[in-house]
Amino acid sequence: MDLLNNLVLGFATAASPYNLLFCFIGVILGTLIGVLPGIGATATIAMLLPITFQLEPVSSLIMLAGIYYGAQYGGSTTAILINMPGESSSAVTAIDGYQMARKGRAGAALSIAAIGSFFAGTVSTILVAVFAPPLTAVALRFGSPEYFSLMIVGLVSSVALAHGSVVKALGMVVLGLLLGLVGTDIYTGTPRFNLGILELSDGLNFVALAVGVFGIAEILRNLENEHDRDVMIKKVTNLWPTRQDWKEMTAPILRGTVIGSALGILPGGGAILASFASYTVEKRISNTPGEFGKGAVAGVAGPESANNAGAQTSFIPMLTLGIPANPVMALMIGAMIIQGIVPGPNVATEQPALFWGIIASMWIGNLMLILLNLPLIGLWVKLLTIPYYMLFPAIIAFCSIGVYSVNSNVFDLYAVAFFGLIGYGLAKLRCEPAPLLLGFVLGPLLEEHLRRAMIMSRGDPMTFLNRPISLGLLLLAAAVLVVVLLPSIRKKRDEVFVED
Amino acid sequence: MLKLFTSLAATAAIALISGSAFAQGYPERSITMVVPFAAGGPTDTVTRLVAESMSKDLGQQIIVENVGGAGGTLGASQVAKADPDGYTLLLHHIGMATSATLYRKLPYDTLNAFEYVGLVTDVPMTIVAKKDFEPTDLKGLVEYVKANADKITLANAGIGAASHLCGMLFMSEIKTPLTTVPYKGTGPAMTDLLGGQVDLMCDQTTNTTKQIKGGTIKAYGVTSAKRLDALPDVPTVAEAGLPGMQVGIWHGIYAPKGTPAEVTQKLSGSLQKALKDPDIIARFAELGTVPSTDAEATPAGLKSKLESEVTRWKPVIEAAGQYAD
Amino acid sequence: MGERFRPFFIASNGRGEHMRNLSFSSRDLICGALFIFIGLFFAIQAYGLELGTALRMGPGYFPFVLAGILILLGIIVIIQGTQLQHEPMGPIAWRGMLFILPAPILFGLTVRGLGFVPSLFLTGLVAAFASTKMRPGTALLLVGGLTLFSVIVFSYALGLPFRRFGPWLGQ
């Protein structure tokens, strides 16, 4: 039983007191930094990368992995508490999580996120251990036509993110797609929409955009009418999920885990779609889709599980191919190279202790996180009892530090202010930021894969239909379009009147 | 007239004296070394390894700061504008030379905005193809590519990337234009090569060595002068009949124009020591590269390298007609 | 336009019941116009780039198509808006915008020159005055604590490459 031996080796490595310590340090650091608003997993790892260079390779990677999960947990925490997602994935959590918090159910929302993530983390760790090599082979069959079709599924589904006007949500997706294209066209090197600004030649900074349209806009909304409106929360009711919550979250967690695990394996941006896809599915099959956007338990449980499962399985292409699935994985590869390990197909056989040690530490890290975070929930919720006018200067300060620390560029801070203004304006116009963010992330990918597929097929558009996986995805997109769009158009009139 | 001359000379002398007095105490505080790329990339890796070793020698910490963006030109222009006091340095790769042509509007003058510290290393490239690609050696590859030019796809990691430069050179050497498929970074390009979605690529050993050893891609040649210890079975391009393909991704350390010569000399000496650090030699070997020699790791060595490379790439890039701005 | 912008200092209940019976929504009108305006901006910019063909797309092709869709969506938003009743936009956070938006920029502009500590202190202070509830004493205390916390966490613990006090202060 090879797998068993490998896992034993892995746990023996990861559970050595020294490595446990670094796993713990990583998880704590990740959580703490991730909880600071405006600083997501990518920024956190970029900031903390240098301090891992002095360690043993295994320990440093275990610590980095811990920082990664920790920052993701932390990012979800700020998304729920103050509507400030640090990553595209937690943008979805913010939709219903923040509404739960406003209803005084921040504790329950945080617990649900933690429990869902832990379950998904456990299942997907097993998946990574058992299926890493064969799954990699599947992922490699995804060429540009397949990715293009996958992105189409994602975009079509994004309508479900809207809880107001569908047309406005579509407009926000398209606006996001356009903003995502700002920068340099990779095919010709032509600069596009950069208004002659050199800093824009690599495109807009995601963190700056997210902090602006979500965080700053939310602060401005809260400052609108300080005298009449009590900004935050009703009284915090219960910290833990109720019996009813447990019932509502179980199925979404299971579905989210499956969706996230599957999408995370795709190296070309599948993991980005995980939380969005899960949200769409939950809203579709829910008996009370009207609850979504107003604090639905399933709208937190599903995406958070999918997100964590995807984060976990995105290690598969990294560990088996040496290919980064997202910016965080790229940083991890950088850390490995500095440690003298070049990730690639041979890591598993040449460095079994390292390979399996990391896999085992994934689970240990998740376990530590839930043990650490459940007690911390009480503390986070207490943060909300600090008067808002004392909280937001800190939010602004941390956002500034976080955004600046990534590229050391003032321009990114101009972008924060600019998108804060835009985001506030859009919020006033009842346009929601989550579809915009999805469009922003997918825009460049969509165009890249479309054009690459056309180049490789020598200009034959049938390439999307001739390839079975691509065809299947397009059919799925068509089905989603019919199912999602028709009833929403029919219900349009009613929905407009139920806006809050 | 004479008065003017003497006063000028006096000013110069004072400047010189104060310069050397200043340099004697150097470094008195921590030094910032700017990498014009994101943390975790190959250039960042090289920088951090070297910076750590040089810190030990200089007795002051060298802080690595990532100022990414615009193909490295943002970080470079930031250093060009920094105080020339030796406390802000730049570690940049071959892009320093190619951006002089790739960007028609640079905010700094490549050949006149910097003082030189020294050449750090030269990372060779490999010509690689998907696993089941037909040709068995470089000669066969060239013939096959020429015969099937309209069917072959050549991947690169985006305008200005090492793989883009090497690909342009390859096409100009065999005088056959191919369909180039740009990617956003090396990762996705390598994924498609592994999956057989594209046919060919030319990329740094940093990215390809593991895959070649693992047998997941096919290697036709390395662009270094000698075979690599890490890949003893792969012939050099010169052996295989394409001597003009000799190319490497070289890295150098720069300081803003006006930095006292004493400072750059001191840094250069420290760099030479760092490059003899067994740890650095071992890490570089894993990346498929070797540290620069003492002669190369000098201000003069880097200066002549930069100048010759600007001249070398200008016609290649202009012939391809692709610019980054 | 059915609505007027009210200055922040005029109290409002934020509900505006009296505005219920408009024949069209100024919110949707603005929103639609914004979509159309942004769409036009991108369309014009994209048209200046090489469009190429569907088979070999230039850098302008995909954004041009998207911009067209955005303009179309903007028109639909306006049309739909004329048929429905909407609540008005409520008060605008003028004071908030005045103080919140410049704060991050201030940080970016001064962090190199002044150094991390004074720069962050100023940033926090400016942001703090976005709230009418903030009193000067509280603000100084709050921002001082915030700066201390950040210096410990970011500068000492994480070792971010910020100078604590910069060259503008004669250091």
One DSSP character per residue, B177-204 reads --EEEE-SSHHHHHHHHHTTSS-EEEEE
The answer to whether residues C139 and C76 belong to one domain is no
> Is-contact A23 A14, C-beta < 8 A?
yes
Residues C104 and C133 in one domain: yes
SS3 B57: helix
Q: Is the predicted pLDDT of residue A489 greater than 60, yes or no?
A: no
CA distance, residue A267 to nearest chain C CA (Å): 24
**How far, in Å, are A126, A373, A386, B90 from residue B271 at the CA level?**
47, 46, 52, 13
Which residue do the tokens 């390009």 mark? Answer: B189
Q: Which helix (H) or strand (E) holds A465?
A: helix A463-466
| A276, A227 contact by CB (below 8 A) | no
Q: Which domain holds residue A55?
A: 2-497
C-alpha span between A338 and A64 (Å, rounded) = 13
Instruction: Please tell me whether residue C3 adopts helix, strand or coil conformation.
Output: coil
Q: How confident is the model at residue C24, as a pLDDT?
A: 60
Same topology, domains B25-123+249-320 and B124-245? Answer is yes
Contact B237, B164 (CB under 8 A): no
Q: pLDDT band for position B186 (50/70/90)?
A: confident
Backbone angles phi, psi at B10, to 5 degrees: -60, -45
Q: What pLDDT, in 10s, does the model give residues B43-54? A: 888 888 899 889
In 3D space, the residue among B83, B176, B162 whose CA is nearest the CA of residue B122 turns out to be: B162
Alpha-carbon span B141 to B220, nearest angstrom? 8
Give the nearest partner residue to A429 out of C30, C55, C60, using CB atoms: C30
State how far residue A337 is from chain C, nearest Cα, in angstroms. 22
What pLDDT sits at residue C132?
82
Q: Which of A189-203, A246-260, A362-376 has the highest mean pLDDT?
A: A246-260
Q: What residues 454-483 of chain A have any CB closer than 8 A to a CB of chain C?
A: 454-455, 459, 461
Q: How far apart are the first and last CA of chain A?
A: 58
Tell me whether A454 touches chain B (CB under 8 Å).
no
Q: Are B189 and B156 in contact (CB under 8 A)?
A: yes
Taking residues A202-213, report their average pLDDT. 82
List A residues 331-390 in contact with B (Cβ-Cβ < 8 A): 331-335, 337-338, 340, 342-346
Question: Do C158 and C110 lie in a common domain?
Answer: yes
Q: What angle do CA A460, A466, A467 make, to 5 degrees?
A: 115
* B173 lies within 8 A of chain C by CB: no
- Asked if B254 and B75 count as a contact pair (C-beta separation under 8 A), the reply is no
Cβ atoms of A360 and A370 closer than 8 Å: no
Reduce the DSSP state of residue B297 to 3 states and report it.
Answer: coil
Average pLDDT over residues B259-265: 91
Alpha-carbon separation of residue B166 from A380, B94, B172, B319 (angstroms): 52, 11, 10, 14
Whether the Cβ atoms of residue B288 and residue B230 lie closer than 8 Å to each other: yes
Highest mean pLDDT among A232-241, B154-163, B251-260: B251-260
Q: Say if residues A33 and A332 touch (Cβ distance below 8 Å).
A: no
Separation of CA B133 from chain center: 29
Closest CA of chain C from A81, distance in Å: 19
Residue C149's nearest CA partner among A441, A36, A407 is A36
Instruction: Tell me, yes or no, if B192 comes closer than 8 A to chain A by beta carbon.
Output: yes
Count of domains observed in chain A:
1
Per the CB < 8 A criterion, the answer to whether A470 and A151 are in contact is no
User: Which of A254, A378, A359, A269 minimizes the C-alpha distance to A304?
Assistant: A254
Residue C6: the pLDDT is: 38
Find residues 67-106 of chain B whose CB sits inside 8 Å of chain C: 83
| Most trustworthy range by pLDDT among A223-232, B163-172, B316-325, C11-20 | B163-172
Condensed to tens digits (0 to 9), the pLDDT of residues A284-293 reads: 788 887 888 8
What is the distance in angstroms between the Cα of A197 and the nearest Cα belonging to chain B? 10
The answer as to whether C30 is a domain residue is: yes
User: Residue A487's pLDDT band (boundaries 50, 70, 90)?
Assistant: low
Tokens of B78: 């930031």
Closest CA to A66 of A90, A31, A37, A93: A31
Distance CA A33, CA A44 (A): 6
**pLDDT class for B22, splitting at 50, 70, 90?**
low
Tell me, yes or no, if B155 comes closer than 8 A to chain A by beta carbon.
Answer: no
CA C29 to chain centre: 20
Closest CA to A107 of A258, A225, A236: A236
Residue A496: pLDDT above 50? no
Which CATH code of 3.40.50.620, 1.20.1600.10, 3.40.190.10, 3.30.1320.10 fits the domain covering B124-245?
Answer: 3.40.190.10
Longest CA span, chain A:
68
- Cβ(A95)–Cβ(A309) under 8 Å? no
Query: Average pLDDT of chain A?
Result: 81
Number of domains in chain C: 2
Residue A103: per-residue pLDDT: 84
CA distances from B5 to A45, A64, B9, B13, B15 (A): 57, 62, 6, 12, 15
Q: Cα–chain-centroid distance for residue B313? A: 13
Verify that C65 and C130 share a domain, yes or no: no
C67 and C114 assigned to the same domain: no
Within a domain: C3: no
**Is the CB of residue B39 less than 8 Å away from at least one CB of chain C?**
no
Residue ranges of the alpha helices (H) in C48-93?
Answer: 61-83
pLDDT at A244 over 80: yes
pLDDT tens for chain C, 171 residues long, are 334 343 333 334 444 444 444 456 778 888 999 999 999 999 999 988 888 877 678 888 899 999 999 999 999 988 887 655 556 667 888 888 899 999 999 999 998 889 899 999 999 999 998 888 888 888 999 999 999 998 988 888 777 777 888 788 765
Q: Mention every residue, 6+ apart, whose C-beta is less than 8 A from residue B43.
A: B35, B36, B37, B91, B92, B93, B251
Question: Which pLDDT belongs to residue A82?
Answer: 83
By the 10 Å C-beta count (0-12 exposed, 13-18 middle, 19+ buried), C85 is classed as middle
The boundaries of the domain holding residue C141 are: 94-169
Q: What are the tokens at C15?
A: 């509900």
Residue C121 and residue C61 share a domain: no
Interface list for C 111-170 with B (CB within 8 A): 159, 161, 167
* Domain shared by C103 and C156, yes or no: yes
Residue A101: closest CA among A91, A116, A111? A111
What does CATH list as the number for B25-123+249-320? 3.40.190.150
C24 part of a folded domain? yes
Here the tokens at position A129 are: 């251990």
Residue B220 confidence (pLDDT) above 90: yes
Cβ atoms A156, A446 nearer than 8 A = no
Q: Who wins on pLDDT, C70 or A404? A: C70
For A469, counting Cβ atoms within 10 Å of its Cβ (0-12 exposed, 13-18 middle, 19+ buried), the class is middle
Domain boundaries of chain B, sorted by first residue: 25-123+249-320, 124-245
Cβ separation of C167 and B83 shorter than 8 Å?
yes
- What sign does the dihedral A244-A248-A251-A254 (CA atoms) show? negative
Q: Are strands B248-256 and B200-204 parallel, antiparallel or unpaired?
A: unpaired
Average pLDDT, chain B: 84
